[in-house]
Amino acid sequence: MSAHAAAWSAADLPDLTGRTIVVTGASSGLGAVTARELGRAGARVVLAVRDTTRGEAAAAGCGAHAEVRRLDLADLASVHAFAEEWDGPLDTLINNAGVMAIPERRTADGFEMQLGTNHLGPFALTNLLLPRITGRVVCVASNAHRRKGVDIDFDDLNSREHYSPWRAYQQSKLANLLFIRELQRRLTAVGSPVTAHAAHPGYAATNLQSGSASPVQRTIMKLTNRFVAQSDAMGALPILYAATQPLPGGSYTGPQGRGELRGHPGPAVLSPAAQDDVRARRLWGLSEELTGVTFPDLPGADGPKP
């Protein structure tokens, strides 16, 4: 990596005037920072959020062309409504919204909440919007996918037989990476110019950690957020990099410091499971069955549908 890339920051964003970018979960944390910096670079930023009041407050710092639209990724009806109301081309979709290590809950469609919010909702949203997307798709993943023993439980994907807050979170983050891998394979197969990318923020201080099911873990995370974590502004850099820089399809970006916990963005490490095409295709098929959303016919694509 060049010295310039090693020190890449939001000041290095290109002029994004004329580009339209959707950022999910943009009312706070990494999403809010990402939307703010993209807006400052001239983009028309659409903050896709559950709470539009909080979204409007965040949009105030995102430039003159920012707008807020309601989206609840834990409700497929909301996902469909958002996609159906979209009009015109979309340069970039950033799937940022997520929940982490929360007590067991179910989405409106009966999915385990972390799987539904972090993977199945974004899976449906991406495929529904894909005919409109002209540039790239970015999914925010996590270092947590590399923890020992993390895999996709195809026999109990929705954690109905046994629920572990952390296992469910780690599985959902591995699912993000397998989704991007298979999405890129499909885009390449049909000759689409759209590319798929993933990024992770390292350990960034945001309100994501506040939802843990364990009071002890919440206390520990509050302390580590204060004394160990990097800022949300630094945590957003890999997302901004993946969304705007010339990268090959299927790229994965993260902080370049020790353990990929802190630092400026560059190539990140994938676990062996996240590079498994068999897992990726199997998860895609199961995700289609669960959501009822399939890979669409794309304008300009010159190959057969996978």
User: What is the rounded CA–CA span in Å between residue 290 and residue 47?
Assistant: 26
Residue recorded with tokens 């995102």: 62
CATH number of the domain enclosing 112: 3.40.50.720
Q: Distance of alpha carbon 84 from its chain centroid, rounded?
A: 21
Is 299 part of a structural domain of the chain? no
Is 172 part of a structural domain of the chain? yes
Which pLDDT belongs to residue 230?
85
| DSSP β-bridge partners for residue 44 | 20
Which pLDDT belongs to residue 5?
45
Q: Work out how many domains the chain is built from and give that number.
A: 1
**pTM, full prediction:** 0.91
Fill in the DSSP letter of residue 17: T
Q: H-type helices in 76-211, by residue range?
A: 76-85, 113-115, 121-129, 165-189
Which pLDDT belongs to residue 305?
77
What's the token pair of residue 297? Answer: 């016919």
Task: Indicate if 169 belongs to the active site.
Answer: yes
Q: How far is CA 263 from CA 33, 132, 159, 169, 233, in A?
A: 16, 34, 34, 23, 11
| DSSP β-bridge partners for residue 68 | 47
List the chain residues with pLDDT less than 70. Answer: 1-6, 205-229, 303
Domain range for 84: 3-290
Per-residue b or e along 232-252, where b marks 16 or more CB atoms closer than 10 Å to that residue's CB: bbbbbbbbbbbbbbebebbbb
Which pLDDT belongs to residue 224?
53
Choice among 169, 203, 241, 252 that is catalytic: 169
| DSSP β-bridge partners for residue 160 | none
- What are the pLDDT digits (tens) for 62-117? 999 999 999 999 999 999 999 999 999 999 999 999 999 999 999 999 999 999 99
Which pLDDT belongs to residue 226?
53
Is 69 part of a structural domain of the chain? yes
Is 61 part of a structural domain of the chain? yes
Residue recorded with tokens 């939307």: 35
